[in-house]
Structure 1
Amino acid sequence: MKAFFNKYLHNSITLCVVLSFMINFIIEAVSRRSVLLCFDFITDSPMTFLYNTFLIFFTFSIAYLVKRRIFVYVMVSIFWLSIGITNGVILSYRTTPFTVTDLALLESVMSIIPNYLNTFQMVLVGVAALLVVLALTLVFFFMPKHKQKINYKKSVLGVLLLGLAMYGSTSLAINQNWVSTYFGNLGYAYRDYGFPYCFVNTWLNTGISSPNGYSEAAIKGIFTEEELEELNTIPVSAGGEERRPNVIMLQLESFFDPTLMEALSFSEDPVPNFRKLKENYSTGFLTVPSIGAGTANTEFEVLSGMRVRFFGPGEYPYKSVLKDKTCESIAYDLKRIGYGTHAIHNHRGAFYGRNKVFPNMGFDTFTSLEYMNNVTKTPKNWAKDRVLTDEILAALKSTVSEDLVYTISVQGHGQYPDMRLIEPKITMSGIQAESDAYAFEYYVQQIHEMDEFIGALTEALKAFDEDTVLVMYGDHLPSLNIKDSDLVNKTVYQTEYVIWDNFGLKKEDKNLYSYQLSAEVLNQIGIHDGVLTKFHQQHKEDPMYLSNLKALQYDMLYGKEYIYGGINPFATTDMKMGVKEIKVDRVVEVGKKLYIKGQNFTPFSKITIGDKVLDTIFLDPSVLGLLEEVKPEDVSKMKVSQVEKNNEILSTTE
């Protein structure tokens, strides 16, 4: 090996070329979970593979600026191998590949790792991470430095020339269609254009690019003069006898009708309530932006009327632009005409940063898992959806006005087990591999329970003495290796929706995109307020429909807000966590133990003093016990906070 190294790899450029090729090969083999498929990729797209190899080679160039070159070689190699292997692991759990956005979601991802990995697997991951850190430390301190003096002028010039070569090769690769700047399908893009290029693209390509000819005249020219006048007119709340219906939107996690799988048969209908609703109310296929994951992006499209694919590949607007900017949404539009606006989710309030994003989308309240009692869990530790019925009714009853209640379910969430965890109520046939059959069997049991929740919710709303429209839809297909060819409708990017009501809306079946759904619902109940609501309702058939939608999105979020007259009209709401007020009535002492008595406590209620969370036991919704001692003078300072599992305080009693 020493002789081989001295003869062929002693030259640092040669070494970097070999390392780059080997790393790229390993990354693509892991991504495809097959060495043979990696060879197919190389033979089918040799220039794409070589371009990605050159991209990795370029990252090694920083070694020429330091003396610890071996350390840089090891560090860069570990970086690429780590993210490449991570991508392979992620693809075994979902269909969406690893992106830079996933790093922004790291805190949220860490909180749900126990739902995917067992304790032994998590220990292995931890040991592997420690070994990597140890290896880097040893290499840094004990590997020899470069002996020759560095000529920094020559080295910097060399790196700059490599950068120009990288820029030129990228332009050539795009012009020759070896890679593309447009990712219609993120999974297919990673497969066709290679992991290194696509991963870097998700870092550099974010936001929405400025449209050609962007100007005030161009933006306002999308609408007629009459439409512009209507947009600038402040709507009046109906009130009195002209009361409008409540609007409930129910986003069902990974929900779809499994009988759409052509090869499968079931002992009984897995979703009888949903099917009955489809037969009697407006329905159709709903094209969503993701498969197997990406709940927040379907949610964003439905709420805002915006198309996610105009943003960077793999981007989550919740984790980018919406962190510090308000965005027109169905919530803001309905608030303008007097609606109360509520969000509900039976999972962590901080997941996807919803507790900080929803105030920028117009919500008055947000009830997350931390504000719920009587929650039961699935064998994979997700909250079951039946708890949502009472939460939806509580939101409707919390105001005297009409209400928008946007509800996000979680029960159908993966990962699905490869062994039998529960005795199935519904049996099925048509899947050959036993582990795949167990996963699908488990999934079917969960969505059958979700369907029972749908039945209970519609029955409860029938008895509710207010006109109400309930929109139900799946956010994406489950991560169960479903292919286009497996489905009756021949695309994995479609779920279904149904629009139920208790006051006699006409049944109108049509296929929609998720960014059109809210506008369609509002159109059916006679509401036409809001820029994108009006745009989708009146311009869906325009030849320039998509390009004009992109221009409006750019103007609203990144441009000069011409459509609003240059001033963003949407102020961040003072959103309250939970609709039920959590109260502290008194502190009592029993046998030298302190207890807080109050109202609407949950298992996530903790006694706090300032920002310090004290050791607390939840006894029931009216009693919390303190499990540690406090100074007598601090007793009067004790409050109750809702604390999520990562110890983030979501709210505190006054």
Structure 2
Amino acid sequence: MNAKKHTPLSLHGLRLLFPPLATLGILFLTEWIARGSLTGETFTQYIFPHAEAYLLAWAMLFLSWLAVDWLTRFAPLATLLAAVLGCAPAAVNFYTLQLRGEPFLPWDLMQVSEAAGVAAAAGIHIQTSMVVSIVIIVLLVAVSFFLYRGRQKLNWKPRVAGFLASAAATCGLLFGVFLQPAVTQAIGIVPDAWMQDRYYRYYGVITSFLTNLTNLEISKPEGYSEEAVNEILDDTEAAQKYSTAPLYPGSYGATTSADETAKKPTIIYVMDESYWDVSELEQYGFQFDTDVSANLHALQQTSASGRAYSPSFGGGTCDVEFEALTGYSASFLPNGSKPYQQHVTKPMFSLPNYLKLTQGYQTAAVHCFWAKYWSRDTAYPNLGFDTFLSLEQMTHVNKVRRHYWTSGLVTDDSMADQIIQQYEKMKTSSDAPVFLHAVTMQNHTNYNKDNYPDDVRVKVTEHPAGLKASTIGALEDFATGIRDADAMLGKLTQYFSQVDEPVILVFWGDHYNPIDSNYDVFTSSGYASDSSADPRLHQTTLLMWSNYTDKPVDLGTIAAYDISPVMMNLYGLEQPLYFQLLNRQLQVADRANTRGTVMNLDGTTTQTPSSLQESWSQKHWLLQYDLMFGKGYALSRMGMESLNSTQTGE
């Protein structure tokens, strides 16, 4: 008799233990899939120091399991759904990290199917961690089937009560903890404005994803009104009448009378993937077997050159592109949000729209990756691009770097050809002036020496001691891409120097990346620190060249959102009032105010802006809010009234 009682008690105990233990196992599988590996270092450096984040994630999985089980009284389904809840986002996270260097964010839900197609095209395959996880999940489902078989049936009342209780607890956890920044910060989950990849490494996929849901809200700036907008624009307009020193005294625009400057030149933008002048490392103990930036260095003698302060590191290309095309600062938007996916959802002020609506330009964008990636296919028309040539329409392009991307990435040389062909097509079809914006892909992370054969790859001939062979190989891969980008720059400037019309070419890099698995290239040489927030790792190379002036100009460092205002200022082009405001800010307040770091006029940086800098930042945000989210009061002041019909409420 005792034996008969003992067995049910043991079974009951196993049934009580299974849900918490199974969901804990699923949590570990989730992190294994998301990271690609789960080592002792993962636990000691990330999981254990941030245990509260993983306990919250486990509680979410456990409560979800209970809710489904109470509702269905079918434990295998509860186990399966808990596994899908954890492991499916983890798999997506792994792929997005491989594709773009950033993790799976809530707003990516708008294009999951497109991302899956991109992953397949990029040659990203199922990983060992995923295969093993599937096997373990199948085993857990089978165990739950046999463990709960023959369980006492319940009528609907206790089932509904159990479901409501567990569902209420789940909602309480979601809305009372995950979506309450004050609560999550109080328990040690600190927002990371710089690098979502690091945020996910620290706090795990589930907690990071759910806490990012709070980043969807846009708060109206204090004092926003039509009167406030007009006051700022009136001051900006009045300032143009004052006799003040030019922003760049030696520039073409400052030294040429307004009636003699080139009107409506062709404007070419090229944002080169991960580009910065890697030959700078030769001042820090590295040597390469070739001059990787020969064209850049020659062009700097007859062009405007400096650095663009990027809002991104290791990913977030669209943030930089968004800033350069609009003058809007991504720093005013919620941390981790992606403007193209969330905010550029209707026609709005931008350089392409301004040129098209007020200057009669024809506009086109060229990008050698899939049109839907970063939602460019929907964002570009809203920014004013008439045409978008993406990878789907490209033919006869060369591809390289197949170690990670089995289908290869389009070379910068082929991109130069695509840019030239698109320009010629536009000139043939219309007499209207041309604005053409291009984004490359050849030098996208990740880096490995096997991406190029030995007889093609740039070689590192000297380097600081202590660097791993894989790091040197990764640097050679990266430097090869920089050499090829430099060749593209030479090819484009050679072509456009010969066309019979004025042309401006703006060429810059979107962001720095870690080279290999960490910051060793930067730290071993003293080039920069091991922090992605280091200002040194946010200043990419910037060049503004034209075929009708050879005046060298030192741009210094400017924010990425100042690229278009400065370009128009340098060449004496008619600027919208919004750009005039940004150029004034650049002249009197700061060189950049990005992601919590302010670059002062003298090039030093601080995290504590002065009252003057804060005042200018507030003006910037108020106008940006008006143009992106508000009533669009400023549009009529800039000759863009036609966009007003697309602006909705405050």
My pick for the range that moved more, 245-254 or 361-370, is 361-370
State yes or no: 1:549 paired with 2:617: no
Give 1:389-404 correspondences, 5 Å limit.
Answer: 389=417, 390-391=420-421, 393-394=423-424, 397-398=427-428, 399-404=430-435
Deviation sequence 1:556-585 (CA, Å, 0-9, x none):
333333434799632899xxxxxxxxxxxx
| Letter aligned with residue 109 of structure 1 | A
1:497 aligns with 2:542: yes
Distance 1:264 1:277 in 2: 23
Alpha-carbon distance in 2 for matches of 1:33, 1:94? 22
Match of 1:289 in 2: 311
Report what 2:245 is aligned to: none
Q: What per-residue deviation string (whole Å, max 9, x for no partner) do you get for residues 521-564 of structure 1?
A: 11212235335423312234242333443343333333333434
Q: Deviations over 1:600-650 (max 9, x none)?
A: xxxxxxxxxxxxxxxxxxxxxxxxxxxxxxxxxxxxxxxxxxxxxxxxxxx
Name the SS for the 2:544 alignment partner. Answer: strand
TM-score for both structures, normalised by structure 2: 0.74
Q: Distance in 1 between matches of 2:8 and 2:479?
A: 60
Any idea what the Cα deviations from partners look like across 1:298-324, whole Å, max 9, x if unmatched?
2222112222343344433323333x4
User: Which of 163, 170, 175 is the aligned partner of 1:155?
Assistant: 163
Match among 410, 414, 425 for residue 383 of structure 1: 410
Match of 1:630 in 2: none
Deviation at 1:228, TM superposition (A): 9.2
Superposed, 1:517-528 pairs within 5 Å as 517-527=563-573
SS, match of residue 570 in structure 1: helix
**Alignment match, 1:428:** 460
Name the structure 1 match of 2:505: 470
State the match for 1:255 in structure 2: 275
Which of 288, 299, 309 in structure 2 is aligned with 1:266?
288
- Residues 1:177 and 1:210: Cα distance change in structure 2 (over 3 Å): farther
1:413 to 438, 444, 448: 444
Check whether the contact 2:565–2:575 (CA below 8 A) recurs between aligned residues: no
Change (3 A) 1:379 1:24: closer
Q: Partner residue of 1:648?
A: none
Paired residues of 2:322 and 2:328 also in contact (CA < 8 A):
yes
Whether 1:330 and 2:351 are equivalent positions in the alignment is yes
> C-alpha distance in 1, partners of 2:22/2:636?
55
- Helix, strand or coil for the counterpart of 1:244? coil
- Name the SS for the 1:508 alignment partner: strand
Distance 1:228 1:560, change over 3 A: farther
- Separation in 1 of the partners of 2:152 and 2:326? 55
Q: Which residue in the other structure is 2:367 paired with?
A: 345
- 1:335-374 correspondence runs (5 A): 335=356, 336-374=358-396
Change (3 A) 1:153 1:436: same
In structure 1, C-alpha distance between the alignment counterparts of 2:136 and 2:384, rounded to whole Å? 45
**Cα distance per residue 1:494-518 (max 9 Å; x no partner):** 3211111222245032112222211
CA distance in structure 1 between the aligned counterparts of 2:230 and 2:261, rounded to whole angstroms:
36
Cα gap change, 1:174 to 1:133, in 2 (>3 Å): closer
- Alignment check: 8 A CA contact 1:340 1:402 kept: yes
How do residues 616-631 of structure 1 correspond to structure 2 at under 5 angstroms? none
* Greater relative contact order structure (CA < 8 Å, 6+ sep): 2
Say if 1:100 and 1:418 are closer, same or farther in 2 by CA, change over 3 A.
Answer: farther
| Alpha-carbon distance in structure 2 between the residues aligned to 1:5 and 1:443 | 60
Contact 1:325–1:360, Cα closer than 8 Å, also in 2: yes
- Kept in 2, the 8 Å contact 1:180–1:193? The answer is no
Cα displacement string for residues 407-466 of structure 1 (whole angstroms, at most 9, x for unaligned residues) = 122222344445364133431143844444434333332332221121111111111222
One-letter code of the match for 1:397?
K
Match of 1:244 in 2: 264
Cα distance 1:217–1:534, how it changes in 2: closer, same or farther (>3 A)?
Answer: same
| 2:194 corresponding residue in structure 1 | 184
Partner of 2:250: none
Partner of 1:627: none
Q: Is the 8 A contact 2:326 2:349 kept in 1?
A: yes
CA positional deviation for 1:15: 4.6
Find the partner of 1:438 among 469, 473, 489: 473
Q: Distance in 2 between matches of 1:146 and 1:532?
A: 70
Cα distance in 2 between the residues matched to 1:167 and 1:126: 30
- Report if aligned partners of 2:361, 2:433 keep a CA contact under 8 Å in 1: yes
Counterpart residue number, 2:608: none
Aligned residues: 560
Let me know the Cα RMSD of the aligned residues. Answer: 4.0
What residue number does 1:235 align with?
none
Cα distance, 1:363 vs structure 2: 1.7
- Does the residue aligned with 2:355 lie in a helix, a strand or coil? helix
Separation in 1, partners of 2:48, 2:166: 31
Alpha carbons of structure 1 residues 368 and 337: separation in structure 2 relative to 1, 3 Å = same
Richer in helix (by share): 2
- Aligned pairs for 1:469-488 (under 5 A) are 469-478=504-513, 480-481=515-516, 483=519, 485=523, 488=527
Q: CA deviation at 1:112?
A: 4.0
Aligned twin of 1:315: 337
1:199 equivalent to 2:229? Answer: no
1:304 and 2:326 are equivalent in the alignment: yes
Q: Is the 8 A contact 1:297 1:317 kept in 2?
A: yes
Does 2:44 match 1:39?
yes
Q: Which amino acid aligns with 1:281?
A: S
Distance (Å, rounded) in 1 between the aligned partners of 2:452 and 2:217:
42
Cα distance in 2 for residues equivalent to 1:307 and 1:3: 64
Aligned partners of 2:314 and 2:511 also within 8 Å: yes
The one-letter code of the counterpart of 1:450 is A
Counterpart AA for 1:39: T
In the other structure, the counterpart of 1:72 is 78
Task: Single out whichever of 245-254 and 412-421 deviates more from structure 2.
Answer: 412-421
Please list the CA deviations of residues 280-307 of structure 1 after superposition, one character each: whole Å capped at 9, or x if unmatched.
4322222223333333232222112222
Offset of residue 155 of structure 1: 3.5
Q: Which residue of 2 aligns with 1:530?
A: 576
Q: 1:200 to 1:552 in 2, by over 3 A?
A: farther
Superposed CA offset, 1:470-490 (max 9, x none): 110112234633526366255
- What is the rounded CA distance, in whole Å, between the counterparts of 2:434 and 2:259 in structure 1? 12
Closer/same/farther in 2, CA of residues 264 and 514 from structure 1, 3 Å limit: same
Alpha carbons of 1:130 and 1:21: their partners in 2 closer, same or farther (altered >3 Å)?
A: closer
Alpha-carbon separation, structure 2, partners of 1:315 and 1:191? 18
Q: Is the counterpart of residue 570 in structure 1 residue 600 in structure 2? A: no
Gaps of 5+ in 1: 231-237, 574-654
The amino acid across from 1:501 in the alignment is: S
Tell me the secondary structure at the aligned position of residue 247 of structure 1: strand
For the structure 1 residues 33 and 470, does the alpha-carbon distance in structure 2 shift closer, same or farther, using more than 3 Å as the test?
Answer: farther
- Label 1:451 to 1:199 Cα distance change in 2 as closer, same or farther (>3 A): same
